[in-house]
Amino acid sequence: MLHDTPNITYVEFISLLVAGLCFVLAFTFQVAEMRRTPQASDAASCPGFSNASTAWVAGGAVLSAAILIWRGWRFGLWSLPLSDYFDAGLLLAILLTGLWMWFCWTRQLKALAIFLLPLTGVLILVGGILGVVGYRNFNTANPWIALHIGSILIGTVCFAAGCVSGLGYLLADRQLRKKKENWPLPSLTRLEAFNRHAILLGFPLLTIAAITGIFEALKNPQTAGPDWYWSAKVILTVVAWAVYAPLLHVKLTPSFRGARAAWLSILGFALLLAVYALAGFG
């Protein structure tokens, strides 16, 4: 299955696997450190941030950036390449590392950072595998497709933030209901507010991505294929859009808050990942 394609070399693929492994190792070290020092008085002093885990995150991000720069140089470009899923996975890893750093910097959201690591590892590996197995040239010279891909990438980061804050919310809710204090997490209201803001940013991007995608499909029906509008990819995108929509209107749909909102933001992100996978293999 693994072989050099015209666009992805074997060395690049192995390097991507190593980068993904870095994030997985960072996650492992962070969990181990948290288990070693499970107690902390508040979310700001969240344990688990050892030098080892930080070093692995930095290693993963630097390696991802190096592969992208190398590919840009190889293709004779002087900008970051964004030609296929392989590059998209690497770029997402760098963007999510930025989000990880921001979580750490804000301190109050530091406890959420750990959730990002396995997510980053999975995204980079899926991107790499899709790039090799189901290679698809994004043709970003087309401005509509460039907008489509750009919206998806930045939107994915926003929804990833929504997903991890949703996970954090459910964990904090569970701890409160179980009457345990195992892990210091931000307050429920802070997690909920962050979740809403993340989706508020991601939703317009998802909408733009959907509109530009539809526009391109209508313009090039031969590429999109017959009955493209009934494809699983399109249906799942619409479902994901519908899942996120009520989260933006708390006043109109007050019951979609708290744990329900958290579940929906996780479900929405899972649907988006499914859409990416379908788009890659389809």
Partner 1 sequence: MEHMSKSGPVFRMVGLNHRTAPLLVRENLAFSEQDCSAALRRVTELYPQSETAILSTCNRVELYVAAGPHGPTLEQMTAFLADFHHVSVQELRSHTYQHENQAMVEHLFQVASSLDSMVLGETQILAQVKQAYQRAAEGKTVGTLFHALFQRALAAAKDVHDRTELSTGRTSLATIAVALVQRVFDQLRDKTVLVIGAGKISRLVLRQLGALGPRKILLANRTPQRALDLGTSVAMEIADLAHLDQLLVEADVVLTGTGSTEPVISAEMVRKRLKARQYRPMFIVDLAVPRDVEAAVGSLTNIYLYNIDDLENLAEENRRRRGDQIAASLQVIKEHAEEFLHWFSARNTGPLVKQLYANCRRISDAELAGLLAAHPEFTPEQRQALARTLHRVVGKILHQPVSFLTGKTPSHDQVHLTAAMETLFGLTDKPGGGADDAHAAPDSMGQ
Give the binding site for partner 1 (CB under 8 A).
39-41, 172, 175-177, 179, 181, 185-190, 193, 250-251, 254-255, 257-260
Task: Report in angstroms how near the CB of residue 172 gets to partner 1 at its nearest.
Answer: 7
Q: Which is nearer to partner 1, 41 or 79 (CB)?
A: 41
Task: Report in angstroms how near the CB of residue 186 gets to partner 1 at its nearest.
Answer: 8
The region that residue 201 occupies, defined by phi over 0 for left and psi between -120 and 50 for alpha, beta otherwise, is: alpha
| Distance from C-alpha of 72 to C-alpha of 90, rounded to nearest angstrom | 12
Kindly report the backbone phi and psi dihedral angles of residue 42, in degrees, each rounded to the nearest multiple of 5, phi listed first: -150, 175
Q: Which is nearer to partner 1, 146 or 250 (CB)?
A: 250
- Closest to 185 (Cα-Cα) out of 24, 42, 23, 87: 42
- Locus of tokens 């998209």: 88
| Distance from C-alpha of 94 to C-alpha of 100, rounded to nearest angstrom | 10
**Distance between first and last Cα of the chain:** 17
- Closest to 137 (Cα-Cα) out of 75, 54, 187: 75
Q: Which is nearer to partner 1, 144 or 263 (CB)?
A: 263
Task: Report in angstroms how near the CB of residue 209 gets to partner 1 at its nearest.
Answer: 30
Q: Which is nearer to partner 1, 205 or 262 (CB)?
A: 262
Structure tokens given for 203? 């939703």
Task: Report in angstroms how near the CB of residue 100 gets to partner 1 at its nearest.
Answer: 22
Task: Report in angstroms how near the CB of residue 216 gets to partner 1 at its nearest.
Answer: 40
Amino acid residing at 86: F
Q: Which is nearer to partner 1, 136 or 190 (CB)?
A: 190
- Closest to 280 (Cα-Cα) out of 2, 66, 272: 272
Task: Report in angstroms how near the CB of residue 22 gets to partner 1 at its nearest.
Answer: 31
Q: Which is nearer to partner 1, 41 or 222 (CB)?
A: 41
Amino acid residing at 196: R
- Locus of tokens 């994915």: 156
Q: Which is nearer to partner 1, 182 or 223 (CB)?
A: 182
CB neighbours of 62 closer than 8 A, spacing ≥ 6? none
Task: Report in angstroms how near the CB of residue 188 gets to partner 1 at its nearest.
Answer: 5
